Amino acid sequence: MKKLNKGYFWFCIIIFQIIIGAGTGFLALSAVETETIIYNVKIGELELKGLSLAEAKAAIDEYYSDLSEYSLTIRIDESDFTIPYTDIEARVDTEKTIEAIRTVLPANGFNQLFMNSEKEYIINPVITFSAEKLRQVCEPVFSAFETEPVKDRYDIQGETLVYTPQKPGIKTDYEMLEKEVEKHLNSSRNEPLNISTGSSPVFAASYTGDKYEDEFSVIVSKAEIPFPSENEAEEYLSALHGVVFKNNEEIDLRNMLDFSKFTNPNEKDILNRIASGIYQSALAIEGIEVLERKPSPYPVSFTETGLEAVIENDGDNLVMLNKTSSPLMLITEYDGNSAAFYMVSDKQLRSGILIVQREEEVPPPIITSVNEKLPPNKKIVVSEGIPGFTASVSLIIENDRIELYRNKYAPVNMVIETGKSPGISVYK
C-alpha cells in the first residue's frame, strides 16, 4: 500500500482552514449592518455623501423645513391652476424618505464590499399632504368641469315616439385625484399635473342609477287639455313625464303628485286639468279598469263634460288599474297653452275614441236680482248659465262600441240683473 505524502496532506489541511476562515469572515461581514452612506446619494439637490442615516435625517429635516415657496400646478385640459404646498399641508416625510434611502444602501458589510461606489443615486423626497385640504382647494375648480348625468328619455316629436339614450355625466373621483397628486409630487417631474376630462381616471363617468326596463315603441292613446297661460302647470307636467305603470299596477295620481301643493283655486284648477288629461288618455285603452274617479257636479269648461276627473276634497283621488298585459308610460308635452297626455307601450294595444252623448237636458234656472245702478227697464245677463244633462260616455274601438258609464250634471244658474222699476217684467 502506497504511503500518503505528508507534504500533500498538510497542504490540503491549510487550504481547508483558509476556506473555513474566509467563509467565517464573510458570514461575519454579512452580519454587520452598514450605518454610513459611503457613496453618492442625493435627496433631490441635497447631497448626503458620507453621512450616517441619523445625520442624513437631520440634514433632510433642515433642508426641507420650509416648503412655502413650492407649489403644485394642475392642468385640466387647457386650464392651469396652482396650489401652494401650504394650502394642502404638504411636507417632506423624513422617515419615509430614509426608508427610501435604505433601499439603495448595502444591507451589510458583504454587500458593501462589492458595491459600485461610483454610481450616483438621486432619490426624490417622499412628500405627504392632507387629502381633506386637497379636496377643499380643488372642489371649486373641478366642479366647473363636472356635468350631471341625463336619464334615458322618451319624447313625442311630430306624433312620433323618439328614444334618447342616457348620457353619462362627469364626476370628480377625489380618491383617484389624491393618488395622482401623490404620484406626481413624488416624481422628478416639474411640469404640471395633466388631467383630461375625457380620459383621466380623475374624471369618472356618473350615471343616474336607473334605466327603463322596457323598450317602448308605440303611441297607444292621446288626450289634450287646454291650460291657462302663465301658470305652474309645466312644473307638475314635467314631474309626470316618463312615469311607467307595469301590468297589474295602479295608475294612482296621489302617488304621482303631492296634492298638498294645490291649495288655491288656480292650483286646484291645474290639478283637475292634469287629472282629466291622464284619465282620458288611459280610459281610451282597452284593459284599463277605473277604480276611483270623481266627476264634477257641474259641467266643466276645460274639457268635454263627462270626461273630467276632479280633485275637490281631501279624500278624492284618481286611481286606475293597468290590466292591458303590457307596461304603459305616460308622456306629457306642454306648449304653454295646452298639454298633451300620451300613453305609450311596448306593443300595439287596442284603443279607441271616447264619445260623449248629452241626454235628458235640463235648462238652467234663472236668478234675477235688482241692480239700482241700472236705469229702469234695463237688464243685463251676468251669466248665461249652463243646462244640466246626463252624459253618456262610450269607447269606440274599430267597430265595437263599449258603453262605459253615465254621469248626471246639475244645471248652472243663469244670472240676470235689472234696473229698479215697478211692474217690470223679468226676462225669462
For strand 414-418 and strand 366-370, is the pairing parallel, antiparallel, or unpaired? parallel
Could you tell me if 47 and 108 are in contact, meaning their C-beta atoms sit under 8 angstroms apart?
A: no
With beta carbons less than 8 A apart as the criterion, state whether 218 and 345 touch: yes
CB of 226 closer than 8 Å to CB of 261: no
C-alpha cell at 4: 500518503
Q: What pLDDT is stored for residue 11 in this prediction?
A: 56
Look at residue 17 in the predicted model and tell me its pLDDT: 60
C-alpha cell at 295: 266627476
Residue 5 has what pLDDT? 57
Low-confidence ranges of the chain (pLDDT < 50): 1-4, 22, 24-34, 38, 108-115, 424, 426-428
pLDDT in tens, 30-44: 444 445 554 678 888
Cβ(192)–Cβ(228) under 8 Å?
no
Q: How much is the pLDDT for 375?
A: 83
| Residue burial 207-230, b: 16+ Cβ < 10 Å; e: rest | eeeeebeeebeebbbbbebebeee
Q: From CA 412, how far away is CA 409, in angstroms rounded?
A: 9
At residue 21, the pLDDT reads 52
| Strand duo 127-128 + 91-92: pairing | antiparallel
DSSP 297-338: SS--SSS-TTS-----STT---EEEE-SSS-EEEEEEE-SSE
User: Residue type at 393?
Assistant: V
Q: How far is CA 193 from CA 86, 92, 189, in A?
A: 18, 19, 9
Phi, psi of 305, rounded to the nearest 5 degrees: -60, 130
Total residue count of the chain as it appears in this document: 428
| In contact, 281 and 222? CB cutoff 8 Å | yes
3-state secondary structure of 211: coil
Q: Give the distance, in angstroms, between the CA of residue 152 and the centroid of all CA atoms in the same chain.
A: 12
Q: Which residues pair with 344 in a beta bridge?
A: 219, 329
Amino acid 325: pLDDT: 95
What pLDDT is stored for residue 19 in this prediction? 55
At 2 the pLDDT is 44
Phi, psi for residue 349 in degrees, rounded to 5: -115, 155
For the chain, percent helix, then strand, then coil, each to nearest 5? 25, 30, 40
Give the β-pairing of 388-397 and 250-252: unpaired
What pLDDT, on a 0 to 100 scale, did the predictor assign at position 8?
57
- Say what the pLDDT of residue 38 is: 46
Q: Where are the domains of the chain?
A: 215-351, 352-428
pLDDT, position 33: 47
Phi, psi torsion values for 383, nearest 5 degrees = -140, 130
CA distances from 294 to 190, 414, 425 (A): 74, 25, 41
286-333 pLDDT tens trace: 999 999 999 999 999 899 999 999 999 889 999 999 999 999 999 999
Mean pLDDT of the chain: 86
What is the CA 382 to chain-centroid distance, rounded?
54
The x, y and z cell numbers of residue 200, run together, are: 383621466
pLDDT given for residue 357 in this prediction: 96
**Which triple of cell numbers denotes residue 267?**
292650483
Q: Cα(6)–Cα(236) distance, rounded to whole angstroms?
A: 115
* Residue position matching grid coordinates 306593443: 347
Q: Match domain 352-428 to its CATH number in 3.40.1130, 2.20.230, 1.10.10, 2.40.128.
A: 2.20.230
